[in-house]
Structure 1
Amino acid sequence: MTIRIAMWSGPRNISTAMMRSWENRSDCEVIDEPFYGYYLQQTQSPHPCFEDILAEQSTDYKKVVKQLTEGDCKTQFQYQKHMTHHMLDDVDLGWTKTLKHCFLIRDPAQVVNSYTNSMGQCSTQDIGIVRQAKLYDEITQITGQSIPVIDSNDVLKNPKYILAEVCKALAIPFDKGMLAWPKGPRNSDGVWATHWYHSVEKSTGFAPYVQPNLTLNKQQLDVVAAVQPYYEKLEKLRIRLPNSEI
């Protein structure tokens, strides 16, 4: 039976690189943001590739859930990359009980800076950090799991350690193939890859961590302040690096 793993992240994290990492395992297939079409249909949010996404993906929440829980999978593991803001407040999360889960977080200032650079503006709803914290509570309650949390900066500082710890927390074997992958696009990439995935398509592994030097305007700082408590709630739960690397 396939073990299905849901990774819950906000945008402008290392979520696509993480998907590459899992896809490079010989025993794992990946699914890229399966609720994107549903989210756009419901919100009409003006995202890049809007029409292409609606044409490519099902916008029926129940059909997507069935695919994620019962869909055919020929590998031992299935890795599902989810964006937290795609999960609207009133959706039924009962289906999450059958999956294993992990949460991927990132410093809000870095997220806001990156999102603004890509989209020209950024709101608290755009980056999904508030929703991420709420989903953690809801999914924990539904599943009864002790769900691991990882921070993208920790992954970049020591990917082997963090990935091995995540695998241990999920009770699956670590595969060193997760540390590197070939350049280029993948058939599994969502149609939105043409807008968002330029950097990851050039990558062959996780980029080295570089301390960011950010200058945010007042509107951006207000967004950071609004979401910071929710990030900190999850940050306290994160898998930590050995003391010498923090």
Structure 2
Amino acid sequence: MKVAMWSGPRNLSTAMMYSFAQRADFAVLDEPFYGPYLRLTGLDHPMRSEVLGDRRKDAIEVEQSLMDPVPDGKPHAYHKHMCQHMIDGIPRSFMAECVNVFLIRHPARVVASFAKGYPDLTADDIGFDAQAELFDHVRSLGQTPVVIDSADIRDDPEGMLRGLCETIGLEFDPAMLSWPVGPKPYDGVWAPHWYTSLHATTGFAGPEGPLPDLNGHLAELVARTMPAYRALETKKISQSMKL
């Protein structure tokens, strides 16, 4: 099984990658299309030169690597994808070979968090519209996409991970609930900019507090992206469905 986890930034996506990496039966891969995305867009992201130097494959080569046998002889792979990376020029054929899961988070929380490290963000940077479009693409492949909300995971990590594993046909592994402190060998090269706070953790953070109070440009971004979020929210694995 190859699990493609589709998320925007600042959305528990790295914690979920860490969670699956603790399973002995999974290899994990961090944002495989980030290099091609930066080359195609020319965006000046933090650590751009380091990312381009580390991710030299073009988009077609990346896709082929995703369809190759899972590394290290493991039976399963977990691919952490950013929805906003899937622009024109990034191939999608590999998605038909994956179990596609969509990880969502309320736009206000995403915008507040992402703006701390990238203040000039746009709606395209946080990927909500792209996530909704990719969800429809997966349905067009004849699959039933799985949706899980990061807030529900933080409220009850074990219950929601059990539900997710059951939904995609995996046995739950308690090892998924914690990870060692510090940087990980499977982190993307951009980890020093984005993952520092997560490196201090050994498991999922607890429930989130009230939504952040945003105004101006950031509030407009939230309003702009709420419809796409709400559309996927109606499809999510709910806490009442936990197994």
Relative to the length of structure 1, the TM-score reads 0.94
CA 1:39–1:111 in 2, change beyond 3 Å: closer, same or farther?
Answer: same
Structure 2 partner of 1:84: 83
Relative to structure 1, the CA distance from residue 172 to residue 47 in structure 2 (aligned partners, 3 Å threshold; closer, same or farther) is same
Say yes or no: does 1:138 pair with 2:131.
no
- Secondary structure of the 1:6 match is strand
| 2:39 aligned partner | 41
The structural deviation recorded for 1:213 is: 4.7
Corresponding residue of 2:15: 17
The CA deviation at 1:119 is 1.2
Q: Contact 2:111–2:218 at 8 Å: present in 1 too?
A: yes
Question: After superposition, what is the alpha-carbon deviation per residue over 1:57-107, rounded to whole angstroms, capped at 9, x for unaligned?
Answer: 134111000111114422111100000001104543222111111000000
In the other structure, the counterpart of 1:127 is: 126
SS of structure 1 residue aligned to 2:103: strand
- Consecutive unaligned residues of structure 1, counting only runs of 5 or more, are none
Query: C-alpha deviations, 1:198-227, integer Å up to 9, x for none?
Result: 111111100001213522122111111111
Give the ranges of 4+ consecutive aligned residues of structure 1 lying more than 6 Å apart after TM superposition: none
Alpha-carbon distance in structure 2 between the residues aligned to 1:58 and 1:84: 20
**1:142-184: per-residue Cα shift (whole Å, max 9, x none)?**
2x22121011100000011111111111111111110111111
For residue 153 of structure 2, what is the aligned residue in structure 1?
Answer: 155
Amino acid in the other structure paired with 1:155: I
Shifted more, 68-77 versus 6-15: the winner is 68-77
Residue 242 (structure 1) shift: 2.8
* 1:29 partnered with 2:40: no
The number of residues matched between the two structures is 241
Indicate if the aligned counterparts of 1:37 and 1:58 stay in contact, CA closer than 8 A.
Answer: yes
What is the distance in 2 between the residues matched to 1:71 and 1:48?
32
Q: Which moved more, 1:133-142 or 1:213-222?
A: 213-222
Q: Are the counterparts in 2 of residues 93 and 139 from structure 1 also a CA contact under 8 Å?
A: no
Cross-structure match for 2:105: 106
Q: Measure, in 1, the Cα distance between the counterparts of 2:90 and 2:45.
A: 21
- Between 1:204-213 and 1:89-98, the stretch displaced more is 89-98
Within 5 Å, which residues of 2 pair with 1:1-246?
3-73=1-71, 74-89=73-88, 91-142=90-141, 144-242=142-240
Secondary structure at the counterpart of residue 78 of structure 1: strand
- Structure 2 gaps of 5+ residues are none
Q: Could you tell me how far 1:26 is from its partner in structure 2?
A: 1.1
RMSD: 1.5
Alpha-carbon distance in structure 1 between the residues aligned to 2:152 and 2:82 = 20
Taking the aligned partners of 1:58 and 1:233, their CA distance within structure 2 comes to: 36
Tell me the secondary structure at the aligned position of residue 239 of structure 2.
coil
CA contact (8 A) 1:58 1:64 kept: no
Q: % of aligned pairs identical?
A: 40
Return closer, same or farther for 1:215/1:121 CA change in 2, 3 Å cut-off: farther
Structure 1 distance, partners of 2:123, 2:65, is 29
Find the aligned partners of 1:135 and 1:200 in 2 and give their Cα distance.
Answer: 27
